[in-house]
Amino acid sequence: MVSSKKLADIGYRMVSGSMILLTVYGGYLDGVRCTVVAYRYFQTKKTLKAAAKDQASEIIKD
């Protein structure tokens, strides 16, 4: 039979371990998100630059 102190210790370790895993996973997701945002930014910049080069003689009005 497990004592209440040992049971509480096991529960504490499980909760703190799961929090560590969630923190690491959240950091991973944030890193992936930043990479995707940066990739889209540079792709959009490249596309706009190519479009401006193709339409150099036209004036684009908003």
Q: pLDDT tens, 2-61?
A: 799 999 999 999 999 999 999 999 999 988 999 999 999 999 999 999 888 877 656 555
Report the pLDDT value the prediction gives residue 62, as an integer from 0 to 100: 46
Type and span of the H or E element at 2: none
